Chain A
């Protein structure tokens, strides 16, 4: 009985695994196949070549788009961690008038659907002259309210004695934060880092709105426009190759740090 049910469990999990893995494997194999063979269900072909990838590199500056994405997402991630920890520290460990008010405002803003501010945000970018600049891609993402809350929550549990001792030694709050709190805060830094990075890396709507010049496009944006804008000339092979190029960097990072990814993204459930 016990044995039979565990075989059943492995069978369903393996079947599920196949459903999640096979489409990716099929896509990867299709990117090397000639157009005629793409519709085949199998993974192997005698005619594997790099033609589809060559077509993508010839038609769009996808390497540049990759660098743009790396640059934008790194800036966003770095500053979300930096400012998230600074503001989180103030809200957790410093006493000042208006602290509760700021906390209330943060909780309130998390309830506001972004649909309401999207159009005014775009107009703001126009008025700042930030359309078609990195500023539009980076600055609005520099602060993560959820990041602030995560840091605050984490900092609340650090013993006050540590702070008092450092204060007596004449340390400033920034020194306490970066020299004493940071080494203790690896889990929350990783979480905020991954959430900000993934949010920025995978965003397409905002880049579509604020960037129209090719040189500044992010990678998901460029792949989207390659597919939608007709440059792919309905060649399925090169569409899939562009998609594979977009997926590969993040899958490689994921392969090494999957535990952190899963744990971080599961905490995004705490949001509501």
Chain B
């Protein structure tokens, strides 16, 4: 009996000891920053001089900050182009890869290559592909007899350009996720539908798409989280321009904190932006689940 008790006690003890690393990590790098961010939003602070209590004035400033709302709008524009494009392209290639073909592994590895390469590399490369006079894309476009597109030089095209580039970089991951989803659809569904005389388009919309609902939600949420952290692409390629058209919310918060040194205000922006993110994701979840 005492032996049993001793065993439970020792299991408790090693349980505490072994989860200690996480508890420490949580207290220092999660709980403290969370609490501290809640204090910061009521202060004006540049780190060097003492903190100054300013009540809700950071929020007043935020709600009058046209630039910040423009940066959120830019981020949403990015998402609005990036997500549908990503789903279409990923699903298209996933369906091709799901057929009985040779070299599947080779193509899979090729499509996945941009996923593992740093975003900095991709951005430096694509800046050249987008070059107005000499870029590869405009060479192809003029070769087809069409007008040059101003890509990252125009406020209208700059954000769509970044969204296209981000799709090229990430789509390999989503091809894999859709491929996993497709392989989970039971074959008899298709056979039954074929016997009932359903055409391939009907089979796609009535079997494939509904069966991929979970994957779809996953893809949407992952690309949303990624899209809201959009930073390095505009930072490297456009610096937020032209005319602030690619100023993402993260880039704006970064500038406020580390260019202007407005720590309290930047923390407030981060706080507010986090809520925007959570709300958008919740809405997406509701919409996808209903359909």
Whole-angstrom distance between the alpha carbons of A38 and B139 in the complex? Answer: 13
User: Dominant SS at the B interface?
Assistant: helix
Closest chain A residue, CB of each to CB of B25: A143
Contact bitstring B86-128, A, C-beta under 8 A = 1, else 0: 0000001100110101010101111111111111110011101
Which chain A positions have C-beta within 8 A of B133?
39
B274-A116 in contact (CB<8A): yes
12 contacts between A and B (CB under 8 A): A10-B101, A27-B128, A83-B21, A96-B11, A115-B273, A119-B270, A120-B34, A121-B29, A173-B18, A204-B118, A224-B120, A258-B112
Whole-angstrom distance between the alpha carbons of A167 and B8 in the complex? Answer: 12
Interface size class for chain B?
35 or more
Given A6-B101, A91-B19, A173-B14, does the pair A124, B32 have CB atoms closer than 8 Å? yes
B278 interfacial by beta-carbon distance below 8 Å: yes
Which chain A positions have C-beta within 8 A of B103?
13
User: Dominant SS at the A interface?
Assistant: helix
Contact bitstring A182-216, B, C-beta under 8 A = 1, else 0: 00000000000000001001101100110000000
Q: How far is the CB of B208 from chain A (nearest CB, A)?
A: 16
B232-A224 in contact (CB<8A): yes
B114-A20 in contact (CB<8A): yes
Which chain A positions have C-beta within 8 A of B107?
13, 16-17
A contact set with B: CB distance below 8 Å: 6, 9-10, 12-13, 16-17, 19-21, 23-24, 26-27, 30, 38-39, 41, 83, 86-87, 89-91, 94-99, 102, 105-106, 109, 111-124, 126, 140, 142-143, 145, 148, 167, 172-174, 198, 201-202, 204-205, 208-209, 220, 223-224, 227-228, 236, 239-240, 242-244, 246-247, 250-251, 254, 258-259, 261-262, 265-266, 269, 271-272
Which chain B positions have C-beta within 8 A of A19?
168
B257 interfacial by beta-carbon distance below 8 Å: yes
B235-A272 in contact (CB<8A): no
Which chain A positions have C-beta within 8 A of B120?
204, 220, 223-224, 227, 243, 246
Which chain B positions have C-beta within 8 A of A198?
116
Q: Determine, out of B76-84, B172-180, B187-195, the stretch whose residues face the partner at the interface.
A: B172-180
Within 14-59 of B, Cβ neighbours of A (below 8 Å) are at 14-16, 18-19, 21-23, 25-26, 28-30, 32-34, 36-37, 40, 47
